[in-house]
Structure 1
Amino acid sequence: MKNCLRLMLLIGMLLLALCSGVYAGEAPVASLEALTDVQKYNRAIHIMAMLLVGFGFLMVFVRKYGRSALTATYLLVSVSIPLYFVKESLFAPAAPATIIDTLILAEFAAASLLICAGAVLGRMKMQQYLFLGILFVPCYALNEWLVLNGGLGLISGKVVDTGGSIVIHAFGAIFGLAVAASMTTRQEYETAIESDENSDKYSLLGSMVLWVFWPSFCAALVAPADVPKTGVNVILALCGSTLATYFASVKLRGKISAADIANATLAGGVAIGSTCDLAVPGSAFMIGILAGVVSTFGFAVIQGKLTDWSKKVDTCGVLYLHGLPGLLGGVVALFVASGINVGAQLTGIMVTVVTAAVTGLVSGKVLAVMGRRVAPYVDAEEFDGEEGEEDVVMAIAAEEPIA
């Protein structure tokens, strides 16, 4: 299996090299268009900060798995962006995108992949994260084609999803949950996911980085004239979800939960995505409040009950940060966007859910063939250092490895 992985990576690099000439011959653009591309580049760098620093540190809340979480983030981003460029080169869209547009679209794919990986964080070997990326990007591109580009004629009309509530957040979350459904073992279910004061602080740092740069994520590809309005809407939605998270967390738990503050505060950015360039400030703020309440309720009430009922583990709670708020954003578009095609919007949501669930289940079965970790949620199995080594030794001694 390792040889197969190396071969697939080699083939991917060769394809990227063969296709690299597609952008080499781009004609010079007019000065105004060049300025627009420079502005897009700046937002693309903001998104890269979200991917590596934001998502990376958000996922270090697992106390003994921080080094692995950050390394997996590096690898997932590094495999998904080149793969998306290969896809664009082999299957050129009807309206060719500029190279900076393609970079941003590739970053969107990477963000969706990181969301997906959050569902199974701590329960895969490092090379399995790479293989997850190889499996995920074609599935993500397929859904993107079906929902946003009218692939196979399944959707007759435009799906409103500017900032990716549906095709980025909901797809990544449902795909990851399907993978988790295929791979979660009894030992993983019974192993507690530990956090402490320090790991929570780093997770909150990652959340703040995501919060700061989220307006650039949603405004990355909107028309220049709509960038200010989009940014304001996203900030107000994030403010709404942050305030709602605080009050809901105290109401539902009795005290503030660091997990709620690190995650549910971002739900407004997820939910406003579909209509980030269409909403007015008041509706954006209300969308954020609603998303914050839904997300916090998910973390505080639904997560424990659903885990016990299904015996499946969603490590980062992607269903409650990205899945439910993403679907909420897609549905809210029906009431916010004027002249929306209701049938197309609802069909786009359904196609995304089905595509993510089916491809995720299949991908989980494929990943399971590569074996399992001896002990979940610890660095020591693959990293130097003593932290977590006792968990690995105990798992081996008990002769209950995941494999």
Structure 2
Amino acid sequence: MPRIKLLPMLALAFMSLTAWSHGSEAAGAVSLADVVNVQKYFRAIHVMAMLLVGFGFLMVFVKKYGRSAATATYLLVSVAIPLYFLKDSLGIMGGVELDIDRLILAEFSAAGLLICAGAVLGRLKLFQYMLLAILFVPCYSLNEWILLEGGLGLIEHGALVDTGGSIVIHAFGALFGLGSIFSLTSKKEFETPIEADATSDRFSLLGSMVLWIFWPSFCAALVEPSAILGTVVNVILALCGSTLATYFVSLALRKKVSVADIANATLAGGVAIGSTCDRTVPAIAFAIGIGAGAISTFGFAVIQDKLQNLIKKTDTCGVLHLHGLPGLFGGLVALFVVKGIDVGAQLSGIGITIVLAILTGLVAGKLLSFAGSRITPYDDEEELD
């Protein structure tokens, strides 16, 4: 660009900047808190991408149920977030003042709900997913209140180490879903194979990649600004560790790498690092990811079929092995990683989560069973045009 045209443009830009600066001073300078909240907004949008695109596509691996899985994802998120806002605005079981914090916590509850829904995926009518959300969110909030806010005086406020929700979000959601399948898996549904094909597997891998990319924002959503960079590094390294472990363990156990293992167990590092994401160092985070990936892959390759044949129930997405076991592993690892941790509070939090999630899941599953059942499981055609 000729210099004669560039100089007036620079002068105009400088005058505009000066005018904006004076206007800002008149209106009041932007505070550090404002900047922090805007950054939280960015992470909240990342978490929303995880909920709708990540979880949504991860669950379309059932080849005849992909459209229903995506629709159910919309419905679950759209019920969970307003319901959590209602709970919070009424001051029931605690609450926060900032709307952006409230939104992030509501998204966390939606994440736990989507994990839970993965256990019964394909066996509920679409309206039953909304009923599941109505039943799940209060139970999730109760557990969150007890563990994080000192509710009922069972655990001292702030004593539990679980920044990124390994226990509160992942373990609770998975075990709630595990409890619900006892009333939501008929003999016909148990005997119906869950089929996948190359196309559904590709979409599932896409969902997994979206979750992988945005998981650092999930864990760092509410951490102090000074801890964000360290948290992000730890989460990424944990995901790298679980991805590598998944490949080698899947190959060793199956003699061929399973696409289902890659789509799921690679994420186990993100699940497990949640408890200590802001309290550890990169080398340990990588090791936690390796351990979680190995546990998750072993669960999918060895435990899943044996357990389901034993109880005659189906965990459609294998949430026990992606979220449940790695989540509990992450909570227990904190005992060895975090200096000065309250061992009693940590173990109590894990125990309360296990008991409360399974019991409330059993009750929710029984209540949902009264609302009827699908004629044909794992098939879009029954409800979608």
TM over 0.5: yes
Partner Cα distance (1:94, 1:263) in 2:
33
TM-aligned CA deviation for residue 97 of structure 1: 3.2
Structure 1 position 142 matched with structure 2 position 170: no
The aligned counterpart of 2:48 is: 48
Deviates more, 1:36-45 or 1:93-102: 93-102
Aligned residue identity for 1:333: A
Q: Secondary structure at the match of 1:181?
A: coil
Distance 1:29 1:276, change over 3 A: farther
Partner Cα distance (2:306, 2:201) in 1:
23
1:109-129 Cα distance to aligned partner (Å, 9 max, x none): 000000000000000000000
Partner Cα distance (1:318, 1:29) in 2:
47
- Contact 2:93/2:141 (<8 A) preserved: no
TM-aligned CA deviation for residue 91 of structure 1: 1.5
- Contact 2:280/2:338 (<8 A) preserved: yes
1:74-94 Cα distance to aligned partner (Å, 9 max, x none): 000000000000000111676
1:117-171 Cα distance to aligned partner (Å, 9 max, x none): 0000000000000000000000000000011111111113610000000000000
The aligned counterpart of 1:101 is: 101
The aligned counterpart of 1:207 is: 208
TM-aligned CA deviation for residue 29 of structure 1: 10
1:252-297 Cα distance to aligned partner (Å, 9 max, x none): 0000100000000000000000000001000000000000000000
TM-score (norm 1): 0.87
Aligned residue identity for 1:121: L
Partner Cα distance (1:92, 1:188) in 2:
38
The aligned counterpart of 1:225 is: 226
Is the radius of gyration larger for structure 1 or structure 2? 2
The aligned counterpart of 1:357 is: 358
Aligned residue identity for 1:137: V
Structure 1 position 323 matched with structure 2 position 319: no
Q: Secondary structure at the match of 2:381?
A: coil
Structure 1 position 342 matched with structure 2 position 343: yes
Q: Identity over the aligned pairs, expressed in percent?
A: 69
Q: Secondary structure at the match of 2:256?
A: coil
Partner Cα distance (2:48, 2:156) in 1:
33
Equivalent residue runs for 1:1-400 within 5 Å? 31-91=31-91, 96-156=96-156, 158-384=159-385
Distance 1:155 1:73, change over 3 A: same
Aligned residue identity for 1:241: S
Partner Cα distance (1:109, 1:96) in 2:
14
Aligned residue identity for 2:226: A
Distance 1:29 1:160, change over 3 A: farther
TM-aligned CA deviation for residue 383 of structure 1: 1.0
Partner Cα distance (1:274, 1:262) in 2:
22
TM-aligned CA deviation for residue 192 of structure 1: 0.1
TM-aligned CA deviation for residue 30 of structure 1: 6.0
1:297-317 Cα distance to aligned partner (Å, 9 max, x none): 000000011111110100000
- Measured on the aligned residues, the alpha-carbon RMSD in Å equals 1.2
Q: Aligned residue pairs: how many? A: 357
Aligned residue identity for 2:263: A
Aligned residue identity for 1:152: L
Q: Secondary structure at the match of 1:249?
A: helix
- Contact 2:94/2:145 (<8 A) preserved: no
The aligned counterpart of 1:24 is: none
TM-aligned CA deviation for residue 381 of structure 1: 0.3
Q: Secondary structure at the match of 2:374?
A: coil
- Contact 2:89/2:95 (<8 A) preserved: no
Q: Secondary structure at the match of 2:382?
A: coil
TM-aligned CA deviation for residue 95 of structure 1: 7.2
Partner Cα distance (1:362, 1:373) in 2:
20
Aligned residue identity for 1:280: V
Q: Secondary structure at the match of 2:340?
A: coil
Q: Secondary structure at the match of 1:77?
A: helix
Partner Cα distance (2:30, 2:188) in 1:
59
Deviates more, 1:147-156 or 1:258-267: 147-156
Distance 1:373 1:29, change over 3 A: farther
Q: Secondary structure at the match of 1:370?
A: coil
TM-aligned CA deviation for residue 201 of structure 1: 0.3
Distance 1:29 1:76, change over 3 A: farther
1:210-252 Cα distance to aligned partner (Å, 9 max, x none): 0000000000000001000000000000000000000000000
Distance 1:59 1:253, change over 3 A: same
TM-aligned CA deviation for residue 96 of structure 1: 3.5
Partner Cα distance (2:94, 2:352) in 1:
22
Structure 1 stretches of 5 or more lacking a match? 1-27, 385-403
Partner Cα distance (2:132, 2:180) in 1:
9
Q: Secondary structure at the match of 1:183?
A: coil
